[in-house]
Amino acid sequence: MTRKRKIHSNHDDNGSDVEPKPSKKQKISSDEKLTQQSAKQIEVPRIPLHNTAVENMAMPSVGFGTFKLKKTAVKPCLKYSLLNGYTMIDTATIYDNEKEIGQILSSFKRESLFITTKLWRSHQGTDEIVEKQLRLSMKRLGIEQLDLWLMHWPGPGKGMFKKNPCPADWSPSMRASTWKKMVDLHKKGLIKAVGVSNFTVKHLKDLKERTGILPAVNQIELHPFYIPQDILDYCEEEKILITAYSSLGAGSKELLEHETVQTISSKLHRSPAQVLLRWGIQKGAVVIPCSTKEEHIRDNILLFDFEISKEDMAALSSLHCNKRFGWKKDDPNIVP
């Protein structure tokens, strides 16, 4: 079992759980030979996806997040994660690392991988723009079919990525037309499933009213300090799978070192990070932790040989205080 320890991570504005750059001794080797045979096989349960044209499609319940790992910074971490049981990778056009991720993925069997990327808000618009962006992402990733494509943000924003704003003539109808084109590309077989990210109940209902089509996934911030119960309830009702980001509170000491988290960590002989990730899984969500450290990458997928009791789940959930770590300057609730 893993010994209890405190984990310290950098805080960032978009809720990533990326940690400080490792020292030379901690850095992940970049010359490790990559073969499918050398990868560890860890049984990661898969969760069925609904609202998709692909029958019996399921998504791994743990994936490797890549936000903040720009360009070549992603390569050693991703190599190590794939060699240690991860099969799902979460990225986005705006993360600026799709090409480098593709270079690593080329060493692994495509059918064993689940790849998610996202359409940024500046690319909402005409059918031509949307399809062009999908094809560019797939080209950079070196794949002919994408597992999951998400609309990254429901509309305009003023915080992160200011140089990539929504089109000047953006309106909720543009979001709906963008979604229709994403669905069309899904039906054509370029994408196995389509979903959204940072959508509130209002945005999900608007998509349903305007298009009649619901997403397979909604990727949102979710951790014991921030539990948007209205979104969780609506997504459960409509069979929309939740993917949780900022599961570790963006590496905030405030969450990782909270007395309740530490107490449960000690009781279970698991790290605080493992407790928080397991909490997300038992809430029914997929989790996508990110780390630059080998030990944390290994630990973050070892979540299926223990459970958090009903009482401890309630104790963790009681920490909810509506505190968000991601998108501090961009609140999806104010997007029309």
8 Å CB contact between 246 and 11: no
8 Å CB contact between 197 and 152: yes
Q: Which residue has the tokens 């899984």?
A: 281
Burial 75-112 (b: 16+ CB within 10 A, else e): bbbbbbbbbbbbbbbbbbbbbebbebbbbbbeebeeee
8 Å CB contact between 221 and 243: no
d(CA 65, CA 42): 18
d(CA 208, CA 221): 22
The torsion angles phi and psi of 241, rounded to 5 degrees, stand at -75, 135
d(CA 32, CA 78): 12
**Token duo for residue 121:** 């808000």
**Token duo for residue 85:** 């049981």
Nearest-10 Cα torsion for 43, 279, 90, 255: -140
8 Å CB contact between 49 and 57: yes
Helix (H) or strand (E) holding 56: none
Classify 133 as helix, strand or coil. Answer: helix
Catalytic residue among 80, 86, 95, 245: 95
The verdict on whether 95 is a catalytic residue reads: yes
User: Which residues does the annotation mark as catalytic?
Assistant: 95
